[in-house]
Chains A and B, each alone.
Chain A
Amino acid sequence: MISAGAPRYEWKRNEDGASRSVAEAVQIASRWGVEIPHYVEFHVAPPGFLDPSTYARTTRFREFDGTIIQWEAFFHRLTGKIPFLVRADVFASDEAIVAVFGHEMYELETLRTMFDSNHSIEDWEAETASNNEGNVHWQAWDVADRLVEKMRTSK
């Protein structure tokens, strides 16, 4: 498969026009093989909160070069979960749900091993940047594309 810094498929909106709740979206993603750790929580982003090229994201760090990002920093102090904000329009497409949740979970779990070994913010950004060919972000879109292919071929 050719790696890409963005999804290759245009996700289809649900035929019945239904927009899923967060709980429904988690069920749908899980049904198609996305492993969602118990310490992750998804939320619908308010309009305009995420930039137009972002489908979902967790905490964005703003530190000087060389700063070590600790895994614990991703957790919300009140809920004990890692929050992800997801663009509202994602919930109107089961394909988008599976692709976006799959992408984010692949990225998070792959990068978790980096945080365990004390990597700097630059290392983390290198793996999540959309313009760094072959990095974890690109691999995560491959995973997402394969999930969408599976959904389409099984119909």
Chain B
Amino acid sequence: MMETHVALYRSGAITSYQLVVDCLHMLDPAHPEHVLAGLPPEIYEEMLDYARRYDPTRQAPKERLMPALDQVHAATTWIERQKSTQRLEATEPMARKSR
């Protein structure tokens, strides 16, 4: 299913915003990697932007199905963890060199 969404995004058939929201809706908070691992890198930043706007204290609208808080939270945590892991991997050889 995610492959279809990503293909639609890459072909210009759905916007990055639509991909972000659809992914969040499909995301299993216990296994966010199933949905998030295959996304184009630029989608992660847009997803974090969405999460920053997402205010759990506001009442969810009746006629508009929003992603759930645990889905948004799981996505944020997973992306931030990936980013920090990549940063560590990127800086490690430099750190070794300087020793």
Binding site for B on A (CB under 8 A): 41, 43, 45-46, 49, 59-65, 67, 73-79, 81, 83, 85, 121-122, 125, 129
Please tell me if B37 contacts chain A, counting CB pairs below 8 Å.
Answer: no
- Which among B42, B63, B66 is the interface contact of A77 at CB below 8 angstroms? B42
Is chain B's interface secondary structure helix, strand, loop, or mixed overall? Answer: loop
Instruction: Let me know if A64 and B67 touch, CB within 8 A.
Output: no
The contact size tier of chain B is: 20 to 34
Instruction: Let me know if A75 and B11 touch, CB within 8 A.
Output: no
A59 touching B17 in the complex, CB below 8 Å, given contacts A46-B4, A64-B60, A65-B61:
yes
Instruction: Let me know if A61 and B17 touch, CB within 8 A.
Output: yes
| Chain B contacts for A83, CB-based, 8 A | 12-15
A43 touching B15 in the complex, CB below 8 Å, given contacts A60-B21, A64-B60, A64-B66:
no
Chain B: minimal CB distance from A42 (Å): 9
Binding site for A on B (CB under 8 A): 4, 8, 10-18, 21, 42, 53-55, 58-61, 63-67
A62 touching B15 in the complex, CB below 8 Å, given contacts A46-B4, A46-B8, A77-B42:
no
- Whole-angstrom CA separation of A85 from B8 in the bound complex: 10
| Chain B contacts for A63, CB-based, 8 A | 53, 64, 66
